[in-house]
């Protein structure tokens, strides 16, 4: 077996991050993913450090896929997508609402051709509604969903846009789970379905258990609590930062002991989680000097001796050498042919019964056109005619033999 999704065919018409990451996760788990790109290629090919036509961002989000370039404005290209959809189990798209219908490739049209198809549409705000037609990027969804307001600057109090595409990635996780749920439902009903996913909905749902807990109760609402995370701040040591946290009474006592202030565990202000939230500033005044007097290694040792949850704040490059990351083999090296070796995360979920192979390389633009179209029965002459008409992108810039492909 090559993973739990071996034999599942995915047609990825999405771009940038949310859809491509979801499809990349399915590829990690054994699915055969064909990525359809415009003649200009996915925008993410041009974001981040790059070799040839593959950037680091594109590589991480599109590992293990095959690439086919189509000009979807042309009817022949639309027909090729229909043929691929007839053979596919899953289609992922993140065009703006209505765009796929205008191309004749909407969910109704393709489900009529292939009733077993799971057709996932990702949008920024939803398929309908006052903002449905607006462009949406990660930072915009962070703002509207309340994520920015939930992560305020510790000094100024200003809302912040997190320096990571959080909403794209949590939408991707939601999408991958939804696709697998729809595939499971298909085993029971024999039918596929249209799955709608708005980035806004995924982000608000992500916020709800903690950042929005003061907005859950409707009837006889209890008094509001301090916002979750009010005390979620690293401790500054003499040479870096570490996080030590103690939500449980025994853990809070362990943290106080680790800082050499065991008496604080009995202070009435800090006797409960709610009290520690309400008096977070006072607690920091008591313990910040204790942290500053320790180097990070000593703080980690003292907290671990007390059995207090603790972790060093790793700079990004330090994550690569973290002992647990190394032990888990979280990161793997992949041979990317003439581009050299690259470092990628393996599939986080490890399937002992159906283990997946290491992630495959990301495709060059249009690299697998010949193979994908041959599988549909279109010979080289037809492909050349389509290239001449601009239906297909130009011949791949890199010889197929020079780039490893993921075994199928």
DSSP character for 120?
E
382-389 contacts: CB < 8 A, separation 24 or more? 386/76, 389/74, 389/76
Residue 78 · residue 72 · CB < 8 Å:
yes
Residue 236 · residue 260 · CB < 8 Å:
no
| Alpha-helix residue ranges (DSSP H) falling in 271-378 | 273-278, 280-292, 296-305, 316-319, 323-328, 369-375
What is the distance between the alpha carbons of residues 82 and 195, in angstroms, rounded to a whole number?
18
71 annotated active-site: no
CA torsion through residues 6, 10, 16, 18, sign: negative
Which one from 42, 168, 201, 371 is the annotated catalytic residue? 168
Per DSSP, what are the bridge partners of residue 275? none
Q: Specify the pairing of strand 9-12 against strand 90-93.
A: parallel
Q: What is the DSSP string of 35-52?
A: EEE-TT--GGGGSSSEET
Task: Indicate which residues carry an active-site annotation.
Answer: 168
């Amino acid at each position: 077996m090559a993973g739990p999704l071996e034999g599942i065919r995915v047609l990825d018409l999405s771009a940038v991050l949310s859809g491509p990451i979801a499809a990349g996760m399915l590829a990690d788990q054994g699915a055969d993913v064909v990525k359809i790109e415009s003649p200009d290629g996915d925008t993410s090919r041009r974001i981040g450090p790059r070799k040839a036509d593959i950037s680091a961002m594109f590589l991480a989000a599109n590992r293990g896929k095959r690439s086919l370039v189509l000009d979807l404005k042309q009817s022949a290209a639309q027909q090729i997508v229909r043929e691929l959809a007839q053979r596919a189990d899953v289609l992922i798209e993140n065009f703006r609402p209505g765009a796929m219908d205008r191309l004749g490739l909407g969910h109704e049209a393709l489900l009529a051709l292939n009733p077993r198809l799971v057709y996932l549409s990702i949008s920024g705000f939803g398929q309908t509604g006052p903002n449905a037609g607006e462009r949406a990027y990660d930072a915009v969804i962070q703002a509207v969903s309340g994520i920015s307001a939930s992560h305020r600057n510790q000094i100024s109090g200003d809302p912040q846009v997190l320096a990571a595409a959080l909403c794209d990635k949590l939408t991707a996780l939601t999408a991958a789970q939804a696709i697998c749920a729809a595939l499971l439902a298909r085993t029971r009903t024999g039918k596929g379905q249209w799955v709608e996913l708005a980035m806004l909905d995924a982000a608000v749902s992500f916020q709800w258990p903690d950042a929005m807990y003061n907005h859950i109760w409707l009837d006889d609402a209890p008094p509001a609590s301090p916002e979750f995370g009010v005390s979620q701040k690293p401790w500054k040591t003499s040479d870096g930062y570490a996080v030590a946290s103690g939500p449980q009474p025994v853990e809070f006592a362990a943290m106080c002991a680790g800082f050499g202030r065991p008496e604080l565990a009995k202070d009435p202000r800090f006797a409960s989680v709610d009290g520690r939230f309400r008096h977070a500033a006072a607690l920091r005044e008591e313990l910040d000097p204790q942290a500053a007097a320790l180097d990070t290694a000593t703080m980690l040792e003292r907290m671990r001796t007390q059995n207090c949850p603790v972790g060093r704040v790793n700079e990004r490059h330090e994550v690569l050498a973290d002992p647990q990351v190394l032990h888990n083999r979280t990161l793997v090296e992949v041979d990317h042919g003439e581009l050299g070796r690259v470092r990628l995360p393996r599939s986080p979920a490890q399937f002992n019964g159906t283990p997946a192979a290491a992630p495959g390389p990301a495709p060059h633009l249009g690299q697998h056109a010949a193979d994908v179209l041959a599988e549909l029965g279109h010979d080289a002459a037809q492909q050349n005619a389509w290239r001449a008409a601009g239906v297909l992108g130009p011949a791949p810039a890199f010889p197929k033999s020079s780039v490893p492909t993921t075994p199928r």
